[in-house]
Amino acid sequence: MSDGLRDKIIEYIRDEYLEDESMELKSDTPLISSGIVDSFSMVSLKMYLEDEYGIKMSDDEASTQAFDTVNNIVALVKRKLSEG
């Protein structure tokens, strides 16, 4: 589940944000602090995760820190899924 989740999120971020397709995107690559994900479109990442996994995140939970790496995002989604 975790790898599938991770791969899917990486694929979404690649498709949605990366201008340069050859750029490497790893699970610990900083997304927001490095400027890959601009703060203006962070909300669409949140909406994607909510729609795709049937979860609901508060604005506090969907913080720039929680969204700053794929690892952090996977952890957040897993936690929300376990909360039911």
Partner 1 sequence: MAYPKEVKERWQKTLQEVEEAGLYKDERYICSEQGVKITVEYPRGSKPMEVLNFCANNYLGLSSHPDVVKAAAQGLEDRGYGMSSVRFICGTQDIHNDLEKKMAQFLGKEDAILFASCFDANAAIFEVLFDENDVLINDRLIHASLIDGIRLCSAQRDSYKNADMKHLEKKLKMWKDRAQSMCIVTDGVFSMDGILAPLGEIADLADRYGAIVLVDDSHATGFIGKTGRGTPEHFGVMDRIDIITTTLGKALGGASGGVVAGPREVTEMLRNRGRPYLFSNSVPPPIINAATRVVELISDTTELRDKLEWNAKYFREKMEAAGFTLVPGETPIVPVMLGDAKLANDMARDLLQEGIYVIGFSHPVVPMGKARIRVQLSAAHDKEHIDQAVAAFIQVGKKLGVIGEKTKA
Residues making contact with partner 1 (CB under 8 A) = 19-20, 38-41, 43-44, 47
What is the spatial distance between Cα 40 and Cα 69, in angstroms, rounded to a whole number?
17
Least Å distance between CB 14 and partner 1?
12
Per the rule left: phi > 0, alpha: psi between -120 and 50, beta: everything else, 35 is: left
> How many CB atoms sit inside 10 A of residue 54's CB?
9
Choose between 47 and 81: whose C-beta lies nearer to partner 1: 47
Least Å distance between CB 40 and partner 1?
4
Least Å distance between CB 1 and partner 1?
26
